[in-house]
Each structure stands twice: as C-alpha cells, then as structure tokens.
Chain A
Amino acid sequence: DVVMTQSPLSLPVTLGQPASISCRSSQSLVYSDGNIYLSWFQQRPGQSPRRLIYKVSNRDSGVPDRFSGSGSGTDFTLKISRVEAEDVGVYYCMQGTHWPPWTFGQGTKVEIK
C-alpha cells in the first residue's frame, strides 16, 4: 500500500497569515494516463470531509482561491494564503493512483494561535 506522510501534524496559525502543509507519498503518484490522483480534504469539527483540491492543483467549486495545491511525483503541498477562522479543522491528503486501497495522510490539525 502507498503510505502518505503529512507534516506538520499540528499547525497553529495567526489569522491572516499563510499556512503550508506537506504531503509525501511512498511512491510516485503518476498514473499510467499521466495524471496524478492526489487530493486534499478539509474536515471541520463535527463535519464530514470536504474535497478542496483534486489532481494536485484543481480547486473544487466553491473553494476559496486562498487554497492552492502544488507538487509532483511524491511531494505535494497545500497552501492557504491567508488563514481565516473558518479554515480551522483537519486537512488530509489522499492518493487515488495506486488502488486498492485509497490511502490518506494522518491529517494536519490547523488551529488559530
């Protein structure tokens, strides 16, 4: 199984400041069709996960443009340009290239300082 490793696991951030989460996979996530099936999810307290980013850098509809994804091969990053109070929650990266199974990172808890 592909292991997804996130860092940091806890991220205290000041409102209005940027935040960055790293995700590393144990093998390349390039699929045979050339795509990279790496997604990012946000889970606010008490809610279901919500997909923010798919195929590394594509924002889902309704996701604020302060969220951006980047990366290639085995190293990926989710950035929040200016953290807002509603961004508090746990963020997960997930790979859907080498399945089954689909695998997730451990999660990064974003909180306001």
Chain B
Amino acid sequence: QVQLVQSGAEVKKPGASVKVSCKASGYTFTAYYMHWLRQAPGQGLEWMGWINPNSGGTNSAQKFQGRVTMTRDTSISTAYMELNRLTSDDTAVYYCSRDGALDYWGQGTLVTVSS
C-alpha cells in the first residue's frame, strides 16, 4: 500500500531554515510527482510546489520562490522540502502528497518558528 512517512516536528528560530523529509513506499517513487503543501494553525491548505522525482525538476508557488528548495534521493525514495529565512508566519503543518491528484498524503510535520 502507498505510504508517505514524514520526518518529525521541528522548532526553529526566526531566520533559520528547516528541511522536512517524505519517504515514499508502496509504489515507484520516480513515477509520480511529489507535492508539498502547508496548513497554518486553524487555517486552510496552501500549495507550495512540486518536484519531479525522475528528473529533479521543480515548480513552486510564486510566494515561496527564492525561499523553498525541493530535492529528492531516489536511492531511498525520499523527497525533501527546505524552507529558508523562516518567520513566525511559517509556523504550520507541512504535508507531502503524491501527484497532482493529491491522492495520498503524509502524516504532516509541524514546524514551529519561535524566538
């Protein structure tokens, strides 16, 4: 069965960076794009970007361009999302999700930005 397992919660200071991982299993990792989304406390869902695990190509939402880096390691079927220059507004649960259809989701990673 398809599973996406994300890394654990993080606490960061303003200005720092965070890197979240998403390990895929149960399907061919390189066959589906991996998307990243986030959800601030009590808020809705926001799409951040995707990575093509096959080529490494990426596409991100305009508001995150220059601040987000998406990478992957095909040898361990894992995608990564790194967000730089964190502020308190980046406090959120970050999700990975498979494909543009968003048919499977990780369990979420809470990133708290606080001084």
Contact = CB atoms under 8 A, between A and B. Distances in A.
A9 to B, nearest CB: 10
Interface string B39-77: 000001111010000000001111000000000000000
B44 A104 contact: yes
B11 interface: no
Contacts of A50: 105
Contacts, number: 50
B45 A99 contact: no
Contacts of A99: 100
A48 B102 contact: no
Contact of B101 (A39, A92, A106, A107): A39
A71 interface: no
Interface in A79-111: 92, 94, 96, 99-107
Interface residues of B, number: 19
B80 interface: no
A59 interface: no
A99 B37 CA distance: 14
Given A49-B95, A94-B45, 11 more contacts: A48-B106, A49-B45, A49-B102, A51-B101, A92-B44, A99-B100, A100-B61, A102-B100, A102-B102, A103-B47, A105-B44
26 contacts: A37-B100, A39-B101, A41-B102, A48-B95, A48-B105, A48-B106, A48-B107, A49-B45, A49-B95, A49-B102, A51-B102, A54-B103, A60-B103, A92-B44, A92-B45, A96-B101, A100-B47, A100-B49, A101-B47, A102-B35, A102-B100, A102-B102, A103-B47, A104-B46, A107-B44, A107-B45
Interface of A: 37, 39, 41, 48-51, 54, 60, 92, 94, 96, 99-107
